[in-house]
């Protein structure tokens, strides 16, 4: 019994211990669950504010500038060709590539002996035709005189016949005498007809002589033209190019001897897209005679010339797109035919437009502006032109603060901190102090450059003579001389 009682007491104590352990685990688990379920007591969340650069939209009148590339060419370009074949016996002293000639100057002279002989023969034919004409005129005059004399003789024989007939009627004359007088009158009339035929033949001979003279004079004119064609003269002042003839060479008919270019009458041709071409049309569909500037980069100095659009090509061109435009240049000193230049066309004036950075407008023509609470608002505008890093727009943006550069982080409703961009002062160009050896090398290269106009060359040499020289000028000169 004692063993059973002690066993029961042990089981009871073990059960109480297990119950207490389970209760303690339940208390700890509940406390942990409650702790984990409680919200943390952190600081309250704040809205993120982005700092953005803004520009103020102001209306202004602007002249857009359309930039493209073109080629300078002469409006008067003439191929000098030999009208006839022959041997070259004389060339002008300046007949060479780049030679300057004057209007009326003899450039090429071919051997004129054969042509002169043809002229002499034609002149002889003309003299023979004129002599034949004079002889035919004298023959006509003599035939006319013979006709008059024969007509007088026929009249006399006719009157004699009439007298004999009257005598026969009065019974005084005989029939035989009357018949004899009648035969004599008929013979005289026949002689008159013969003389008239001679006069007609003389007149035909005169006409033939005139025709022969006309043919001879035509042949003489052709011979003189062929003789004149042996001398090739300059029709206008210009510069020779692509010369390929020397004294003593045999040339064939219509062979090209050189090209004559007028360097003072230049124009530039350039191609525009159809959309760009449409912007240069007026309300009547006519091409606007817009002003333009042509720039040529020559060894550190930009040569510029002004011009005005003159015409557009009649056809787009096979395999080409857009429109080919031509513009006449004025004061194009230093330019040569074939120069590849930069063309800047001044488009028609745009009124009441807003000039903005290109990064402010997206592809759909929308931009972000600030409202009264410095929150972003998206509005749509009409993009009129894109020019470099700028765009010209129209829309409800006048007086608004516009975001200068859009970002994926920015959108409608976002709060921002505006920062006004101040105009940065223009940076002075970098200047270099050249060594005497380097300066002398640059000066020698500029002086030896034959393509540079004298005015531009003088400006460059003046800058190189200064103690400090712009670094960009030095870099551009050395890039051309391989330094």
Q: Lowest-pLDDT range, 155-159, 186-190, 353-357, 425-429? A: 425-429
- Write out the two tokens for 439: 């300066």
Task: Check pLDDT > 90 for residue 270.
Answer: yes
The confidence score (pLDDT) of residue 269 equals 92
Q: What is the per-residue pLDDT across 139-148, written as a single tens digit (0 to 9) for each?
A: 888 888 887 8
* Percentages (nearest 5) of helix, strand, coil residues in the chain: 40, 30, 30
Q: What percent of the chain has pLDDT over 90?
A: 6
- The answer to whether the beta carbons of residues 57 and 400 sit under 8 Å apart is yes
Locate CATH 1.10.287.620 in the chain: 114-229
In Å, how far are 223, 306, 335, 375, 449 from 338, measured between CA atoms? 40, 17, 9, 56, 18
Task: Check pLDDT > 80 for residue 254.
Answer: yes
The confidence score (pLDDT) of residue 423 equals 40
- Write out the two tokens for 324: 């080919």
The confidence score (pLDDT) of residue 344 equals 92
The confidence score (pLDDT) of residue 451 equals 67
Find how far residue 302's CA is from the centre of its chain.
21
**Position 42 confidence tier, pLDDT thresholds 50, 70, 90:** low
Locate CATH 2.40.420.20 in the chain: 350-420
Locate CATH 2.40.30 in the chain: 261-346
The confidence score (pLDDT) of residue 399 equals 84
Q: What is the per-residue pLDDT across 92-125, written as a single tens digit (0 to 9) for each?
A: 888 888 888 888 888 888 888 888 888 889 889 8
Task: Check pLDDT > 90 for residue 154.
Answer: no
For 68-91, b/e burial (b = at least 16 CB within 10 A) is bebebbbeeeeebebbbebebeeb
CATH 2.40.30 fits 261-346, yes or no: yes
**Position 421 confidence tier, pLDDT thresholds 50, 70, 90:** low
Q: Spelled out in words, what is the top-level CATH class assigned to the domain 114-229? A: mainly alpha
Task: Check pLDDT > 50 for residue 336.
Answer: yes
CATH 2.40.420.20 fits 350-420, yes or no: yes
The confidence score (pLDDT) of residue 395 equals 87
Q: What is the per-residue pLDDT across 175-199, written as a single tens digit (0 to 9) for each?
A: 777 777 777 777 777 877 878 888 8
The confidence score (pLDDT) of residue 26 equals 81
Q: What is the mean pLDDT of residues 130-152?
A: 83
Task: Check pLDDT > 90 for residue 171.
Answer: no
Q: What percent of the chain has pLDDT over 70?
A: 92
Q: What is the mean pLDDT of residues 355-364?
A: 88
């Amino acid at each position: 019994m004692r063993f059973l009682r002690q066993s029961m007491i042990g089981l009871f104590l073990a059960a109480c211990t297990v119950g207490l352990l389970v209760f303690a685990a339940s208390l700890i688990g509940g406390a942990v669950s409650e702790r984990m379920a409680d919200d943390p007591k952190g600081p309250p969340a704040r809205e993120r504010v982005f700092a953005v650069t803004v520009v103020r939209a102001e209306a202004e009148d602007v002249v857009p500038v359309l930039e493209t590339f073109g080629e300078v060419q002469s409006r008067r370009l003439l191929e000098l060709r030999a009208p006839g074949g022959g041997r070259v016996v004389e060339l002008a002293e300046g007949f060479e590539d780049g030679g300057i000639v004057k209007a009326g100057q003899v450039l090429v002279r071919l051997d004129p002996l054969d042509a002169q002989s043809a002229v002499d023969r034609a002149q002889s034919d003309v003299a023979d035709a004129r002599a034949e004409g004079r002889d035919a005129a004298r023959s006509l005059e003599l035939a006319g005189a013979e006709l008059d004399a024969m007509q007088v003789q026929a009249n006399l024989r006719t009157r004699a016949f009439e007298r004999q007939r009257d005598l026969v009627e009065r019974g005084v004359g005989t029939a035989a005498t009357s018949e004899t007088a009648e035969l004599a009158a008929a013979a005289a009339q026949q002689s008159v007809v013969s003389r008239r035929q001679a006069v007609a033949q003389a007149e035909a001979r005169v006409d033939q002589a005139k025709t022969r003279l006309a043919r001879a004079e035509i042949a003489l004119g052709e011979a003189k033209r062929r003789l004149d064609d042996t001398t090739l003269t300059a029709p206008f002042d210009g510069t020779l190019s692509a010369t390929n003839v020397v004294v003593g060479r045999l040339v064939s008919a219509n062979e090209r001897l050189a090209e004559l270019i007028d360097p003072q009458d230049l124009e530039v041709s350039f191609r525009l897209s159809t959309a760009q071409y449409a912007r240069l049309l007026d309300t009547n569909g006519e091409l606007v005679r817009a002003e333009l500037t042509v720039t040529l980069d020559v060894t550190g100095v930009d040569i510029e010339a002004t011009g005005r659009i003159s015409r557009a090509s009649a056809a787009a061109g096979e395999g080409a797109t857009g429109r080919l435009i031509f513009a006449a240049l004025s004061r194009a000193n230093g330019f040569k035919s074939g120069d590849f230049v930069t063309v800047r066309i001044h488009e028609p004036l745009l009124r009441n437009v807003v000039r903005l950075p290109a990064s402010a407008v997206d592809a759909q023509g929308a931009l972000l502006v600030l409202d009264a609470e410095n929150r972003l608002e998206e509005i749509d505008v009409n993009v009129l032109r894109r020019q470099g890093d700028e765009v010209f727009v129209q829309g409800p943006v006048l007086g608004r603060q516009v975001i200068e550069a859009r970002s994926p982080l920015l959108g409608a409703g976002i709060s921002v901190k505006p920062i006004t961009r101040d105009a940065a002062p223009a940076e002075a160009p970098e200047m270099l102090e050249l060594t005497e050896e380097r300066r002398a090398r640059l000066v020698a290269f500029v002086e030896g450059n034959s393509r540079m106009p004298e005015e531009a060359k003088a400006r460059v040499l003046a800058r190189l003579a200064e103690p400090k020289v712009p670094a960009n000028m030095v870099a551009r000169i050395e890039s051309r001389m391989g330094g």
